[in-house]
Amino acid sequence: MKSHSRGREVVTEAIVLKVQTIQENDLWVDLLTPREGRLWGVARHGRKSKKRFSTVLEASNHVRVRFRDKGGVVFLEESQLQLSTNGFPELDLPTWLTSFFIIDLVREFVPERNRDIDVFELVRDTLLEIPFLNRYERLRVLENFEKDFLSLCGYGVNFERCALCQTVVSDEQDLKFYFVYREGSVFCQHCMQGKGEATPFS
Ligand SMILES: [Zn+2]
């Protein structure tokens, strides 16, 4: 491979996970890419340079970026929105909340430089699908996403039983079940005590 003092140039599609302003004008960007994995990048003068970065560096956006990679933090040189052939409907609150729930999961579970094209494609395709779904479709897509995503991340999650008392998850019982991210497991309401952050699970 040809070496270059400014690092390897990479052009790739990416999902923007988080953006923060640093030192007034620079942007610190958390990205998920298909072949480079999750990356942290700096866009110098990113806040001011509308020509190079415009307003496309925003969380949950599907973008195309060009950057220099010398290992570690990468240096963004350009970014633009990936064109969607259908165009997006107006983003509503449920769409935002669902998208950010997915982004949070990615930020929680995907380590830096973790190259996994399956994870990227699942996240991208789910984010692109969400704005076009009704409430019920959205919940179903989100449930499937959780299962597929955690399984790809190496969490063989058992969604069938409470991880402690082994009670079978069932809609017929009065017992409620919760999914606890930090444990990567499902717990019944009795075994849930003190587990903290959890999502009702059915
Ligand atoms: Zn239990």
Residue 124: is it exposed, middle or buried by C-beta count within 10 angstroms (0-12/13-18/19+)?
Answer: middle
Tens of pLDDT, residues 104-150: 999 999 989 988 999 999 999 999 999 889 989 999 999 899 889 98
Instruction: State the distance from the centre of ligand 1 to the C-alpha of 93, rounded, in angstroms.
Output: 34
Instruction: State the distance from the centre of ligand 1 to the C-alpha of 144, rounded, in angstroms.
Output: 23
- Domain boundaries in the chain? 8-81, 93-152, 158-202
Instruction: State the distance from the centre of ligand 1 to the C-alpha of 182, rounded, in angstroms.
Output: 17
Instruction: State the distance from the centre of ligand 1 to the C-alpha of 104, rounded, in angstroms.
Output: 26
| C-alpha torsion sign, points 28, 33, 39, 45 | negative
| Residue-wise DSSP of 40-106 | EEEETTTTT-TTTTTTT--TT-EEEEEEEESSSSEEEEEEEEPPPSS-PPPPPHHHHHHHHHHHHHH
Instruction: State the distance from the centre of ligand 1 to the C-alpha of 157, rounded, in angstroms.
Output: 15
Mean pLDDT of the chain: 85
Instruction: State the distance from the centre of ligand 1 to the C-alpha of 150, rounded, in angstroms.
Output: 21
pLDDT higher for 84 or 15? Answer: 15
Residue 187 host element (H or E): strand 185-188
pLDDT at 85 over 60: no
Structure confidence at residue 169 (pLDDT): 87
Nearest 10 degrees: Cα torsion 138, 99, 117, 73: -170
Structure confidence at residue 142 (pLDDT): 92
Let me know: does 115 contact 36? Beta carbons within 8 Å: yes
Instruction: State the distance from the centre of ligand 1 to the C-alpha of 77, rounded, in angstroms.
Output: 51
**pTM score, whole prediction:** 0.74
Q: Which homologous superfamily is 8-81 in? A: Nucleic acid-binding proteins (2.40.50.140)
Residue 120 DSSP label = H
Tens of pLDDT, residues 165-191: 999 888 777 888 888 877 778 889 889
Instruction: State the distance from the centre of ligand 1 to the C-alpha of 101, rounded, in angstroms.
Output: 26
Structure confidence at residue 29 (pLDDT): 95
The predicted model gives 8-24 an average pLDDT of 93
Instruction: State the distance from the centre of ligand 1 to the C-alpha of 176, rounded, in angstroms.
Output: 10
Helix/strand/coil percent split, the chain, to 5: 25, 30, 45
pLDDT at 156 over 60: yes
Q: Of all residues in the chain, what percent carry a pLDDT higher than 70?
A: 88
| C-alpha torsion sign, points 185, 191, 194, 197 | positive
